[in-house]
Amino acid sequence: MDSLRSSLQSALDRIKTAASLDDKTLGESLKQVEKALLMADVSVDLVAQLSKNVREKSRSAEPPPGYTRKDVVLRAIYEELVSLLGGVSTQRFVPDRSKLNKVMLVGVEGSGKTTTAAKLALHYKNMGYKVGLVSLDNMRPAAVEQLSQLAKKVGVPFFGDPSLEPKKGFERAIEAFSGYGLNLILIDTAGRHRDEEGLMNEIEEISRFVKPDHVFLVLDANLGQSASLQAQAFASKTKVGSVVVTKLDGTGKGGGALSGVAKLNVPISFVGVGEGIEDLEDFNARSFVNRLLGMGDLGALMEAMKSAEEGERESLERVASGKMTLDDMLAQLRAFRRFGSLSKVLESLPIGASQLRAVSKEAGEEKIKKWEAMILSMNKAEKEDPSIIDGSRIRRIARGSGTRPEEVKELLRQYESMKKALKAMRRDKRWLGLLGASS
Ligand code: GDP
Ligand code: MG
């Protein structure tokens, strides 16, 4: 049972369905998120950090136009879970092409270790590595035969002899491979022994004589709590470098794997998405969290919020490049007004900021609404190049928007002065960053 998943979902549902997100509701929902993560063995420190970050974002981040505080909170939780999982780009193991890399796979029987060894062999072979596969699983002769067959499919050399102890088996493999000029060997190990202690001792021993450059821990996406126990047990015997979560094509959502990963503080490098040797994908924290939370609609919300912000950013970029339209001016004034509380940051901005502040102070909500009406009465050419707006156009715009010609003239004056101010701030990275910080 994937209890992490269901308790996270119910915490998020609570936020989604709350009539209004006051501090009390937010606090209670966050407590629930914290509890779910703690029960999934995510460390207390990480949970506290996540919760703190979400609180801060919910206080400081302004929702983009058309979104609410609720959306900001949901998004913050989502983003924090993504970063808990190692972010979008994890530092991944890259075998050094100039030497023989020895890579081990560990995990309990049935987790998908042998299959994953073959998938990884194909993956690295396709990247141009000279790969060999070794089975040191002498507990089950069938396991050796299984990898031997898979190696044929991948088209890489294989060594495995169930009659040999792992140490001997490994030495023979190195001998057998000597003529191949390999730079990567993937070593499959046993996942079951007479008892757990026996298995763990064997992993420790193999690790000692192989001296692996990297160890993949293979975890089944169907695991719940026990994933973190498994992860810990293996990690106490060998230096686990990253995790491969298998069977994500099935009903398992990987909640347990998240616990395992959080416990070890190592990245997930790949995910298995089927039984075939090609069914291996690079890990992507975003799609993993989407799946974990089952949030098709929340995922869509993230996308929509992002594009609203991008619209704002594009407009800012037009402004920064000196091509501000009247629509951009309005968008920027609104954005600028939202940052009123960040006046310290604004003080530190160079030339231009004070003029801009003057315009934005001048332009209260009432005035902005009037300007909006005027702009609605303009045609595209006028909005894009207000310098063509002469006396007769001014009269037409005033009539169309129910304002006075003097007011239209004032808008045009403000536009010119704002354009000048913004031009002066052109390419100021800090200024661009300031609006970027609204995300
Ligand atoms: P091992 O005991 O850890 O070596 O596990 P195996 O590699 O023998 O795999 C156990 C079972 O899981 C086999 O039936 C595999 O085909 C299956 N399996 C492994 N990885 C995946 C996966 O990503 N998706 C699915 N659907 N099945 C998998
Ligand atoms: Mg196996």
User: Tokens 């999934």 identify what position?
Assistant: 40
Sheet strands side by side (includes 131-135): 158-160, 131-135, 184-188, 101-106, 214-220, 242-246, 268-272, 280-282
Q: Is residue 401 lining ligand 1, measured as CB closer than 6 Å?
A: no
What is the distance between the alpha carbons of residues 31 and 15, in angstroms, rounded to a whole number? 12
* 275 Cβ below 6 A of ligand 1: yes
pLDDT of 77 > 90? The answer is: no
Q: Determine contact, residues 193/199, Cβ cutoff 8 Å.
A: yes
110 Cα–ligand 2 center, Å: 7
Compute the distance from residue 237 Cα to the ligand 1 centre, in Å: 23
Domain 298-435 CATH (choose: 1.10.150.20, 3.40.50.2000, 1.10.260.30, 3.30.530.20): 1.10.260.30
For residue 183, report the distance from its CA to the centre of ligand 2, in Å.
23
3-state helix, strand, coil in the chain (%, to 5): 60, 10, 30
- The pLDDT of residue 288 is 78
How many C-beta atoms surround the C-beta of residue 171 within 10 A?
A: 13
User: Which residues are close to ligand 2, an ion, with C-beta < 5 A?
Assistant: 113-114, 143
Sign of CA dihedral 353, 358, 362, 367: negative
CA atoms within 13 A on the CB side of 339: 25
Cβ of 114 closer than 6 Å to ligand 1, yes or no, is yes
pTM: 0.68
User: Tokens for 272?
Assistant: 């298995």
For residue range 173-206, list pLDDT tens digits in order.
999 999 999 999 999 999 888 788 899 999 999 9
Name the nearest CA neighbour of 160 among 152, 150, 190, 170: 170
| CA of 246, nearest ligand number | 1
* % of residues, the chain, pLDDT over 70: 78
Q: In this structure, are residues 425 and 352 in contact, taking their beta carbons and an 8 Å threshold?
A: yes
309 C-alpha vs ligand 1 centroid, how far in Å? Answer: 42
Tell me the two tokens of residue 29: 């929902």
Q: Is the pLDDT of residue 268 over 80?
A: yes
Q: Which ligand is nearest to the CA of 144?
A: 2
| Residue pair 28/14 in contact by the 8 Å Cβ criterion | yes
How remote is the CA of residue 112 from the centroid of ligand 1, in Å?
Answer: 4
CATH class for domain 2-84?
mainly alpha
> Residue 269, SS3?
strand
As a whole number, mean pLDDT of residues 277-291 equals 85
pLDDT digits (tens, 9 = 90+) for 101-157: 999 999 999 999 999 999 999 999 999 999 999 999 988 889 999 999 999 999 999
Dihedral pair phi/psi, residue 103, rounded to 5°: -125, 130
- Is the C-beta atom of 109 inside 6 A of ligand 1? yes
Question: What's the 97 CA to ligand 2 centre distance in angstroms?
Answer: 27
CA 168 to chain centre: 43
In DSSP terms, which residues pair with 230 in a beta bridge?
A: none
Residue 254 pLDDT class (50, 70, 90 cuts): confident
Q: Is the C-beta atom of 191 inside 6 A of ligand 1?
A: yes
User: What three-state secondary structure class fits 93?
Assistant: coil
- Residue 50 CA to ligand 1 center (angstroms) comes to 33
Cβ of 273 below 6 Å from ligand 1: yes
Q: 101-292 sits in which CATH class?
A: alpha beta
* 107: nearest Cα among 216, 212, 207, 187: 216
90 and 244 Cβ atoms separated by less than 8 Å:
no
Closest atom of ligand 1 to CA, residue 274: 24
Q: Quote the mean pLDDT of the chain.
A: 82
pLDDT band at 360 (very low <50, low <70, confident <90, very high): low
Q: How far apart are CA 332 and CA 318, in angstroms?
A: 11
Cβ(325) – ligand 1 distance below 6 Å: no
Q: Where are the domains of the chain?
A: 2-84, 101-292, 298-435
- CA–CA dist 391, 368 (Å, integer): 22
- The Cα 45–Cα 28 span in angstroms is 19
Phi, psi of 312 (to 5 degrees): -65, -40
DSSP states along 368-392:
HHHHHHHHHTS-HHHHH-GGG--HH
- Ligand 1, atom 9, lies closest to the CA of 112
Which residue of 275, 278, 279 sits with most ligand 1 atoms within 8 Å of its CB, as the best mutation to test the pocket?
Answer: 275
Q: How confident is the model at residue 422 (pLDDT cuts 50, 70, 90)?
A: low
Sorting pLDDT into bands at 50, 70 and 90, what band is 435?
very low
CA distance 416 to 77: 42
Cα separation, 300 vs 174, in Å, equals 51
Place of tokens 């792992």: 166
What does the alpha-carbon distance between residue 217 and residue 160 come to, in Å, rounded to a whole number?
21
Rounded Cα distance, 361 and 150, in Å: 71
Residues 99 and 292: beta-carbon distance below 8 Å: no
The confidence score (pLDDT) of residue 343 equals 36
